[in-house]
Amino acid sequence: MEFETCRLSCGLRIICAPYASDVVYCGMAVDAGTRDEMTAESGMAHFTEHLSFKGTLHRTSRQIITRMESVGGDLNAYTGKEETFYYCTLLRPHLSRAIDLLLDISLCSTYPQHEIEREVEVVLDEIESYNDSPGELIYDEFEALSFPGHPLGRNILGEAERLREIRTEDVSQFTRRNYLPSRMVLYVYGRVGLDEVARQAELSIARLGIGSRSFPAEGPVRTQPQAAVAGTEVCTEKSTHQAHVMMGTRGFSATDPRHLHLYLLNNMLGGPALSSRLNMSLRERNGLVYSVESSATAYTDTGLWSVYFGCDHHDVARCRRLVLRELARLAETPLSQRVLDAARRQLKGQIGLSYDNAESVALDMAKRYLHYGRTQTKEQLFERLDALTPDALWLTAQEVFAPERITTLIFN
Residues 198 and 282 in one domain: no
Closest to 260 (Cα-Cα) out of 87, 105, 383, 109: 383
Q: Output the DSSP codes for 26-85.
A: EEEEES--GGG--TT-TTHHHHHHHHTTS-BSS--HHHHHHHHHTTT-EEEEEE-SS-EE
Residues 264 and 319 in one domain: yes
The alpha-helical segments, DSSP class H, found in 108-254 are 113-131, 134-146, 160-163, 168-178, 194-207
Q: What is the pLDDT of residue 1?
A: 64
Cα 253 to chain centroid, rounded: 13
Residues 352 and 258 in one domain: yes
Residue at 387 is within a domain: yes
Query: Is the CB of residue 393 less than 8 Å from the CB of residue 334?
Result: yes
DSSP state of 369: H
In angstroms, the Cα distances linking 279 to 31, 270, 312 are 36, 7, 16
Residues 188 and 275 in one domain: no
Total structural domains within the chain: 2
Query: Is the CB of residue 11 less than 8 Å from the CB of residue 215?
Result: yes
Q: Give the pLDDT mean for 198-210.
A: 97
% the chain with pLDDT above 70: 100
Give a three-class secondary structure readout of 330-346: HHHCCCCHHHHHHHHHH
Residues 27 and 78 in one domain: yes
The whole-angstrom separation of Cα 319 and Cα 283 is 10
Residues 300-354: tens digit of each pLDDT: 999 999 999 999 999 999 999 999 999 999 999 999 999 999 999 999 999 999 9
* CA angle in degrees (0–180, nearest 5) for 304-306-311: 160
Residue at 392 is within a domain: yes
Residue at 116 is within a domain: yes
Residue 254 has pLDDT above 70, yes or no: yes
Q: What is the pLDDT of residue 221?
A: 86
Q: What is the pLDDT of residue 240?
A: 86
Residues 321 and 356 in one domain: yes
By residue count, the chain amounts to 412
The whole-angstrom separation of Cα 116 and Cα 169 is 11
Residue at 218 is within a domain: no
In which element (H, E) is residue 366 found? helix 358-372
Residues 243 and 392 in one domain: yes
Cα 93 to chain centroid, rounded: 30
Query: Is the CB of residue 81 less than 8 Å from the CB of residue 32?
Result: no
Helix/strand/coil for 245? strand
Residues 134 and 20 in one domain: yes
Q: Give the pLDDT mean for 283-290.
A: 97
Residues 159 and 251 in one domain: no
Name the domain boundary from 173, 207, 241.
207
Residues 153 and 287 in one domain: no
Residue span of the structural domain in which 270 resides: 233-411
Residue at 225 is within a domain: no
Q: Give the pLDDT mean for 203-209.
A: 97
The whole-angstrom separation of Cα 116 and Cα 27 is 24
Residue 229 has pLDDT above 80, yes or no: no
Residue at 214 is within a domain: no
Q: Give the pLDDT mean for 256-285.
A: 97
Q: What is the pLDDT of residue 226?
A: 85
Residue at 222 is within a domain: no
Q: What is the pTM of this model?
A: 0.94
The whole-angstrom separation of Cα 134 and Cα 318 is 21
Residues 125-167: tens digit of each pLDDT: 999 998 889 999 999 999 999 999 999 999 999 999 999 999 9
For 383-392, the CB contacts below 8 A with 24+ separation are 384/260, 385/260, 385/264, 385/344, 385/347, 385/348, 386/344, 388/260, 388/261, 388/264, 388/340, 388/344, 389/340, 390/334, 390/335, 390/336, 390/337, 390/340, 391/334, 392/261
Q: Give the pLDDT mean for 7-32.
A: 97
Residues 296 and 379 in one domain: yes
The alpha-helical segments, DSSP class H, found in 132-167 are 134-146, 160-163
Give a three-class secondary structure readout of 267-328: HHHHCCCCCCHHHHHHHHHCCCEEEEEEEEEECCCCEEEEEEEEECHHHHHHHHHHHHHHHH
The widest CA-to-CA distance across the chain, in whole angstroms, is 66
Residue at 19 is within a domain: yes
Closest to 41 (Cα-Cα) out of 137, 175, 219: 175
Phi-psi region of 285 (alpha: psi -120 to 50; beta: other; left: phi over 0): alpha
Residues 59-118: tens digit of each pLDDT: 999 999 999 999 999 999 999 999 999 999 999 999 999 999 999 999 999 999 999 999
Residues 128 and 259 in one domain: no
For residue 390, the domain's CATH number is 3.30.830.10
Residues 344-370: tens digit of each pLDDT: 999 999 999 999 999 999 999 999 999
The whole-angstrom separation of Cα 272 and Cα 374 is 28
